[in-house]
């Protein structure tokens, strides 16, 4: 555990926390939607893609898989098969340079400082683990994946369910009170707090998030560090 802090780990959301909502909404999602048909036409027989289509049919029985995927995209549904397929599509975009993960400028310095200080860093996002690794591996600040201890997505549970955070704490083999969860979504923070985690709501000015009044707030990761006695990174 960090000297001067009771925290042993930080679990961070992505959208609205490390990354502007606009990047996800205006870059990643449209990229996946535009590339969907071509990707399925080209990779539809790949084992990973076949497994995803089987999962789509299980989630939306009787519906054409492509229609179901587009419907989920329009609804911004947190459905694991969709997130997995989006991750594969984004992987192609990151690999050929069409995509670059956007981070707020305060994020990478803080993450590096926290990792150096011994904190276990993890990501918990509704986007697939593969998508998380792509964003941080091809980020505007370089490859940050060596900083992270673990990644969690909807396979561990929904982000607004207490049991998901209990499972994360168990997976880290840490008392919940030694884990800080960062997110812009109050309901996610509520669930984390119910599980005993420390919480902080990110209020990024660019994203216009409204404070819930139920959790400590911070405008950037330097403010998070100040609140919790962590290194600032700069």
Mean pLDDT of the region 51-59: 97
3-state secondary structure at position 215? coil
**pLDDT at position 131, please?**
86
CA atoms within 13 A on the CB side of 135: 26
pLDDT tens, position by position, 201-225: 999 998 989 999 999 999 999 999 9
pLDDT band of 63, cuts 50, 70, 90: very high
Taking alpha carbons only, the member of 203, 75, 70, 179 closest to residue 119 is: 179
Q: Is the pLDDT of residue 4 over 50?
A: no
Taking alpha carbons only, the member of 17, 5, 4 closest to residue 200 is: 17
3-state secondary structure at position 234? coil
DSSP bridge pairs for 202: 218
pLDDT band of 128, cuts 50, 70, 90: confident
Which of 53-57, 92-96, 230-234 comes out lowest in average pLDDT? Answer: 230-234
Q: Is the pLDDT of residue 3 over 70?
A: no
CB-CB contact of 134 with 91 (8 Å):
yes
**pLDDT at position 130, please?**
87
The predicted model scores a pTM of 0.85
Q: Is the pLDDT of residue 65 over 80?
A: yes
**pLDDT at position 234, please?**
59
pLDDT tens, position by position, 178-192: 999 999 999 999 999
pLDDT band of 78, cuts 50, 70, 90: confident
Mean pLDDT of the region 39-49: 95
Look-up: residue for tokens 């998380």? 132
pLDDT band of 99, cuts 50, 70, 90: very high
């Amino acid at each position: 555990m960090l000297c001067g802090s009771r925290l042993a780990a930080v679990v961070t959301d992505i959208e609205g926390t490390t990354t502007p909502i606009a990047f996800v909404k205006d870059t990643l999602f449209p990229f996946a939607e535009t590339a969907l048909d071509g990707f399925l036409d080209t990779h539809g027989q790949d084992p990973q893609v076949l497994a995803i289509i089987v999962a789509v049919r299980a989630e939306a029985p009787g519906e054409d898989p492509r229609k179901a995927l587009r419907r989920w995209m329009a609804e911004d549904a947190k459905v694991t098969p969709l997130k997995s397929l989006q991750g594969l599509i984004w992987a192609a975009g990151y690999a050929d340079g069409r995509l670059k993960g956007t981070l707020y400028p305060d994020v990478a310095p803080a993450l590096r400082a926290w990792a150096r200080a011994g904190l276990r860093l993890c990501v918990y996002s509704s986007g697939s683990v593969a998508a998380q690794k792509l964003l941080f591996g091809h980020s505007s600040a370089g490859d940050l994946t060596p900083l992270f201890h673990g990644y969690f997505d909807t396979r561990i549970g929904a982000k607004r369910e207490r049991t998901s955070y209990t499972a994360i704490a168990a997976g880290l083999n840490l008392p919940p009170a030694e884990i800080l969860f960062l997110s812009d979504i109050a309901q996610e923070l509520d669930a984390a707090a119910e599980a005993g985690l420390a919480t902080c709501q990110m209020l990024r000015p660019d994203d216009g998030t409204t404070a819930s009044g139920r959790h400590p707030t911070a405008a950037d990761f330097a403010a998070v560090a100040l609140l919790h006695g962590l290194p600032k990174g700069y």
